[in-house]
């Protein structure tokens, strides 16, 4: 397998892992917890979902041919929850954003990896843009996991090794991440 093909497969795996971890956290939350803002300057999971959905849709739509920051995107609006923003609507936008990303990545060729694309007028290689997108998604998935633990005060199911249980996992030969 070529290096370019291996990279694309690996990055798709990594994005899927991030989406999966966020999904497992979100699935644990009741609607009230999903929308709860745990502090004055802290986003709710609903806001993080809305923002990442908007970012993914904008960046990965017509990825090779248009700037990643589309004129139709309302980035500022992604940080405001309005009456139309039901959990179902936000999660549908979330799925649409991720679907857009995965379709785009699956359609890329090895030759595309060295092409140039723009994001907010700044030129990147496709490799750089993919890495930028993965870092951005992982940052927000980490926020979802952290805020999820803050707002779900009882019954949180750990997505990695629970605190204080590393030795048991090693002794049992389990994998660290589910």
Question: Could you tell me the residue ranges of all domains in the chain?
Answer: 3-172
Lowest-pLDDT range of 11-20, 81-90, 148-157, 162-171:
162-171
All residues at 6 or more sequence positions from 133 whose CB lies less than 8 Å from its CB, including other chains: 15, 56, 59, 60, 101
**Rounded CA gap, 135 and 167, in Å?**
30
- 103-154 pLDDT, tens digit each: 999 999 999 999 999 999 999 999 999 999 999 999 999 999 999 999 998 8
Assigned superfamily of 3-172: dinb family like domain (1.20.120.450)
Q: Which residues of 23-57 are buried (b: 16+ CB within 10 A; e: fewer)?
A: bbbbebbeeebbbbeeeeeebbbbbbbbbbbbbbb
- 6-19 pLDDT, tens digit each: 999 999 999 999 99
- Which phi and psi angles does 41 have, rounded to 5°? -105, 25
The residue to which tokens 């997108």 are assigned: 133
Contact 112, 126 (CB under 8 A): yes
């Amino acid at each position: 397998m070529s290096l370019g093909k291996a990279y694309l497969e690996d990055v798709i795996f990594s994005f899927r892992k991030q989406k999966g971890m966020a999904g497992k956290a979100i699935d644990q939350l009741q609607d009230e917890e999903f929308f709860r803002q745990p502090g004055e300057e802290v986003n709710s999971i609903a806001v993080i979902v809305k923002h990442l959905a908007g970012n993914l849709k904008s960046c990965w739509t017509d990825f090779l041919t248009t700037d990643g920051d589309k004129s139709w995107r309302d980035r500022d609006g992604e940080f405001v929850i309005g009456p139309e923003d039901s959990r179902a609507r936000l999660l549908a936008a979330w799925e649409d954003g991720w679907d857009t990303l995965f379709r785009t990545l699956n359609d890329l060729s090895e030759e595309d990896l060295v092409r140039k694309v723009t994001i907010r007028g700044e030129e990147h290689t496709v490799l750089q843009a993919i890495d930028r997108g993965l870092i951005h998604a992982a940052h927000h998935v980490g926020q979802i996991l952290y805020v999820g633990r803050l707002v779900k005060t009882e019954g949180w199911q750990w997505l990695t090794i629970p605190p204080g249980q590393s030795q048991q996992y090693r002794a049992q030969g389990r994998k660290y991440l589910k």
